[in-house]
Chains A and B, each alone.
Chain A
């Protein structure tokens, strides 16, 4: 059975260094990061990527009070994606529209807030909020979008650790191909900077970055890297079957032509380069492409000492004979946006189909020899001969790997 081709027709995002694709792209090409110090309950100041989108653009203040930050980020991104796609929310066929939001985790923020709240009342649970359950159910971010858009199709989250952004897109594509929906809003979001537990967990793991200059803290592939900068953010895309997009004359950013999801089954946190390479090869096989057909590999590397080396080993193995393949990383600018990471990092690279520029990996002052990859774009944007396909890596804890391939659209 020939499956429908699925294309990206709109992008909505918020990142610590931009609230539109144009702003985000400009920041990436100018080397502009978005990391700052914030106060963290119980911990003092920590480094984080904070988004400053206008939350009241699409929500009432009461909705912001009742809902979650992840829900608000999702609503902003979904609405911005629809606007970018040239579609009004009330034009959607509401029963045929699906919402698929990747998340690393959900509920930590809200639960920590409630525990803190009742701590002010001698831990008397009668002060526990009745909003807690609707805020913490796993589908909250997608459900808030469905409420906001009045969409009646399937709306749920995909929990996939930090591979979730890619998995949201893959889920949206699959549901379009299955004919379950005619229009998908898909990607990933994260509110993780509002939970001390994520920071404290990384710190206890020895994986929380620190640097006197916040925008130098996230240093993928650099010898001086010392861990992750946690960020919030989101990127949601509108996905349509090609024939539907063409029928309405939609702008087409690119076509999703390949993907693969697999599992390491080796460790809770340490990645497995063999499985990562297998994941990339699987995506290539699904796309019917060879490694040298890929012109940008957007890496997942989070700037942990071991994780970066492992991914580089996998990328080196798959793309060892590919002189036209460029490799970059986006976390040096925005930190690790967790569930949003894969979706945001893809968005940052999409404009390369138009301008042929590859944004660089920044903060790379002293390249770790174990992370030396042919094609690694360092500190300055590079003009590629051409950019026809992007492979977007996104990996997560418990060994979940994902690779997504977007191709320049061509009939």
Chain B
């Protein structure tokens, strides 16, 4: 999986949990909470969907790695690639 593919996985999850948001122009380097109406429960939803849909575990200590799309892809891409 490439980093761009990983970003798309995260965006697909956000589309499910925040269906009112316009995700067409989410900036990779800017914190998701600064661009989208997401709260702490929503981030827990992202963690849960990664677990359910992709068998990816994000320990609580690493939640900060999900702050932006760029940090998500940096953190998650190796995890996805380790699955295969």
Contact = CB atoms under 8 A, between A and B. Distances in A.
A131 interface: yes
Nearest to B38: A62
A66 interface: yes
Q: Which interface class (under 10, 10 to 19, 20 to 34, 35 or more) fits A? A: 10 to 19
B20 interface: yes
A408 B48 CA distance: 54
Nearest to B41: A130
B72 interface: no
Interface string A56-69: 00001110011000
Would you call the interface of chain A mostly helix, strand, loop, or mixed?
helix
Contacts of A60: 20
A126 B20 contact: no
B17 interface: yes
Nearest to B19: A61
Contacts of B20: 60-62
B18 A62 contact: yes
A116 interface: no
Interface string B16-58: 0111110000000000000001000110110010011000000
Contacts of B51: 126-127
Contacts of A65: 17, 19
A121 B41 CA distance: 21
Contacts of B18: 62
Contacts of B48: 127, 129-130
A127 B52 CA distance: 7
B26 to A, nearest CB: 16
The 9 closest A-B pairs by CB, nearest first: A61-B19, A60-B20, A130-B44, A61-B20, A62-B18, A62-B20, A62-B19, A127-B52, A130-B41
Q: Which of B21, B42, B44, B48 has the most CB of A within 10 A?
A: B48
Interface in A57-84: 60-62, 65-66
A60 B19 CA distance: 8
Contacts of A131: 41
Interface in A92-150: 121, 126-127, 129-131
Nearest to B52: A127
A58 to B, nearest CB: 13
Contacts of A62: 17-21, 37, 42
8 contacts: A62-B19, A62-B21, A62-B42, A126-B51, A127-B52, A130-B41, A130-B44, A131-B41
Nearest to B44: A130
Contacts of A61: 19-20
B52 A121 contact: yes
Contacts of A127: 48, 51-52
Nearest to A66: B41
A126 B52 CA distance: 10
Contacts of B19: 61-62, 65
A69 to B, nearest CB: 17
Contacts of A126: 51
Nearest to A59: B20
A121 B51 CA distance: 11
B54 to A, nearest CB: 13
A240 B20 CA distance: 36
Nearest to A120: B52
Interface in A10-69: 60-62, 65-66
A127 B57 CA distance: 11
A66 B52 CA distance: 17
A127 B44 CA distance: 11
Nearest to B16: A65
Contacts of B44: 130
Nearest to A60: B20
A188 B45 CA distance: 31
Contacts of B42: 62
Interface in A289-340: none
A130 B42 CA distance: 10
Contacts of A121: 52
Contacts of A130: 41, 44-45, 48
B22 to A, nearest CB: 13
Interface string A155-176: 0000000000000000000000
